[in-house]
């Protein structure tokens, strides 16, 4: 039985695989992937997750919309969200944090930073 | 009457028992006193003897000094060992950081090569190349060129951060990108290009895509993402990986598409003959 469940919401298979690779190093963690915002919303509403990595630029439903919907759900308040942005100081990142995201990562993604963010948000030593 | 006498007898026995316990305690105290007295006497005798023979004091002092020296030497050894262990620890910590970094780099390289060879669809290969350049290298403006078969030209086929129309065809051997493809070496500059038309700019990085000596295409990076300060060792590894693996992926997908087309033509011809 996994101690923590993580959802990766990212349309790019390269990024998904990279995030998966980094997060697999955490013990007792179950990782689920979603291809876009809509898929991500379906998964967070039908299953329990402790943390979600959400890309901002995605087809069908973007990351900002997904975050606002997640934060609008009372039973999803406890779930931590880390947004993945392309630009360092973009409005998107600030909007995501204002909408209720807990952390952000900028591209290019580094595995050690992904791990550090996951450990911090999941409170893993 | 007889009951009264019996009661007095019980009380007398109790009083006697108390006195007996008091007497036992007094005897124990006297015995302890005697033992302490004899210990004091023994100590006084040893002190007198030691005072009469100063050689014993010197011997004792010498022995103690020797012992102190031995302990100090042991202490020094332990301190040296501790320093050695601390230094080794420090080295291990540094090595751990290096291995972690190496591990992260290898993960990026693995993901890049895995993705490049995960499909035989030419447009999918192109999409993956674009993803790698954005997500793993951190490029903001770049163009991917492909060299058609039996051609000396590099045609822009995908661009990010700028319209594809802004990039023009490049002749192999001409300009920084064309020269990189001609010689097969990645050309990398430290500074961002000066303003002006994108097509006229010298890119920060020109990655030639070649399979052995056959030119397949090129990737020209014109600007990095705002948060990306410069190129790391991993970026250079990724350039080399792209130069080889992206070229092979494009080449393989092109061959596969051709074979599919040929197969379809042959199938159509067979159908025509058999129907």
User: What does the alpha-carbon distance between residue B140 and residue B160 come to, in Å, rounded to a whole number?
Assistant: 7
Question: Domains, chain A, ranges and CATH?
Answer: 4-122 (3.40.50.2300)
Looking at the complex, does the CB of residue B121 fall below 8 Å from at least one CB of chain A? no
pLDDT digits (tens, 9 = 90+) for B39-85: 888 877 777 777 777 677 777 778 788 889 999 999 999 999 999 99
Residue contact B103–A111, C-beta within 8 A? yes
Mean residue pLDDT of chain B comes to: 86
Looking at the complex, does the CB of residue B109 fall below 8 Å from at least one CB of chain A? no
Looking at the complex, does the CB of residue B114 fall below 8 Å from at least one CB of chain A? yes
Residue contact A14–B115, C-beta within 8 A? yes
| CB half-sphere exposure, B259, CA atoms < 13 A | 9
Looking at the complex, does the CB of residue B228 fall below 8 Å from at least one CB of chain A? yes
Which residues does chain A have within 8 Å of residue B103's beta carbon, measured at their own beta carbons? 111
Residue contact A18–B128, C-beta within 8 A? no
pLDDT digits (tens, 9 = 90+) for B105-123: 888 889 889 999 999 999 9
Mean pLDDT along residues A70-74? 88
pLDDT digits (tens, 9 = 90+) for B134-159: 988 889 899 999 999 888 899 999 99
User: What does the alpha-carbon distance between residue A23 and residue A18 come to, in Å, rounded to a whole number?
Assistant: 9
Strand B139-146 with A29-34, pairing: unpaired
Q: How confident is the model at residue B103 (pLDDT cuts 50, 70, 90)?
A: confident
Q: How far is CA B234 from CA A73, A86, B109, B134, in A?
A: 41, 19, 8, 14
Beta bridge partners of B210: B215
Domain spanning B117-263, CATH architecture? 2-Layer Sandwich (3.30)
Question: H-helix or E-strand containing A20?
Answer: helix A13-23
- Complex ipTM over 0.90: no
For residue A106, the distance in angstroms to the closest alpha carbon of chain B comes to 8
Closest by Cα among A67, A58, A79 to A13 = A58
- Name, in order, each residue with C-beta under 8 angstroms of B196's C-beta and a sequence gap of 6 or more: none
At residue A39, the 3 state secondary structure works out as helix
- The reported pTM is 0.72
For residue A122, the distance in angstroms to the closest alpha carbon of chain B comes to 21
At residue B212, the 3 state secondary structure works out as coil
Q: How confident is the model at residue B26 (pLDDT cuts 50, 70, 90)?
A: confident
Chain B residue closest in CA terms to A21: B107
Which residues does chain B have within 8 Å of residue A89's beta carbon, measured at their own beta carbons? 226-227
For residue B86, the distance in angstroms to the closest alpha carbon of chain A comes to 24
| CB half-sphere exposure, B228, CA atoms < 13 A | 29
Check if the beta carbon of residue B247 is closer than 8 Å to that of residue B210.
yes
Q: Tell me which of B104, B105, B160 to substitute to probe the interface with A (most A C-beta atoms closer than 10 Å).
A: B104
B1, pLDDT greater than 50: no
Residue contact A12–B136, C-beta within 8 A? no
Residue in B103, B114, B225 nearest the CB of A87: B225
Only one residue has tokens 């002749």, namely B171
Question: For chain B, what are the domain ranges?
Answer: 1-51, 117-263
B141: which DSSP letter?
Answer: E
Q: How confident is the model at residue A90 (pLDDT cuts 50, 70, 90)?
A: low
Q: Left (φ > 0), alpha (ψ -120 to 50) or beta: where does B126 sit?
A: alpha
Which residues does chain A have within 8 Å of residue B128's beta carbon, measured at their own beta carbons? 13-14
User: What does the alpha-carbon distance between residue B167 and residue B154 come to, in Å, rounded to a whole number?
Assistant: 11
Residue contact B111–A17, C-beta within 8 A? yes
């Amino acid at each position: 039985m996994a101690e923590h469940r993580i959802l990766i919401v990212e349309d790019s298979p390269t990024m998904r695989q990279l995030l998966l690779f980094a997060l697999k190093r955490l013990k007792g963690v179950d990782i689920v992937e979603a291809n876009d915002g809509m898929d991500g919303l379906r998964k967070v509403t039908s299953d329990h997750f402790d943390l979600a990595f959400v890309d901002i630029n995605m087809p069908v439903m973007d990351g900002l919309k997904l975050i606002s919907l997640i934060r609008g759900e009372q039973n999803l308040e406890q779930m931590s969200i880390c947004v993945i942005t392309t630009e360092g100081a973009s409005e998107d990142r600030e909007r995501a944090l204002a909408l209720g995201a807990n952390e952000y990562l900028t591209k290019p993604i580094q595995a050690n930073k992904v791990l550090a963010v996951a450990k911090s948000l999941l409170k893993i030593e | 009457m007889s009951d009264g006498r019996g009661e007095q007898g019980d009380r007398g026995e109790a009083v006697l028992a108390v006195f007996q316990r008091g007497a036992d305690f007094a005897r124990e105290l006297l015995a302890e006193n005697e033992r302490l007295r004899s210990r004091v006497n023994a100590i006084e005798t040893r002190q007198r003897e030691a005072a009469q023979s100063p050689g014993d004091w010197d011997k004792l002092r010498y022995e103690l000094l020797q012992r102190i020296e031995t302990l100090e030497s042991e202490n020094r050894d332990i301190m040296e060992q501790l320093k050695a262990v601390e230094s080794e620890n420090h080295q291990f910590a540094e090595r751990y950081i290096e291995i972690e970094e190496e591990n992260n780099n290898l993960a990026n390289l693995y993901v890049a090569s895995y993705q490049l060879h995960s499909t035989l669809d030419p447009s999918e290969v192109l999409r993956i190349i674009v993803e790698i350049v954005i997500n793993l290298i951190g490029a903001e403006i770049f163009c991917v060129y492909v060299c058609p078969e039996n051609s000396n030209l590099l045609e822009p086929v995908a661009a990010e951060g700028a319209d594809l129309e802004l990039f023009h065809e490049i002749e192999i051997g001409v300009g920084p990108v064309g020269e990189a493809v001609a010689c097969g070496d990645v050309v990398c500059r430290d500074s961002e290009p000066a303003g002006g038309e994108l097509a006229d700019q010298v890119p920060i990085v020109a990655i030639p895509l070649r399979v052995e000596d056959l030119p397949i295409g090129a990737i020209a990076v014109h600007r990095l993402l705002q948060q990306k300060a410069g190129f790391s060792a991993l970026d250079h590894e990724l350039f080399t990986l792209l130069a080889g693996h992206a070229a092979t992926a494009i080449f393989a997908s092109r061959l596969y598409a051709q074979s599919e087309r040929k197969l379809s033509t042959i199938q159509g011809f067979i159908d025509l003959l058999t129907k």
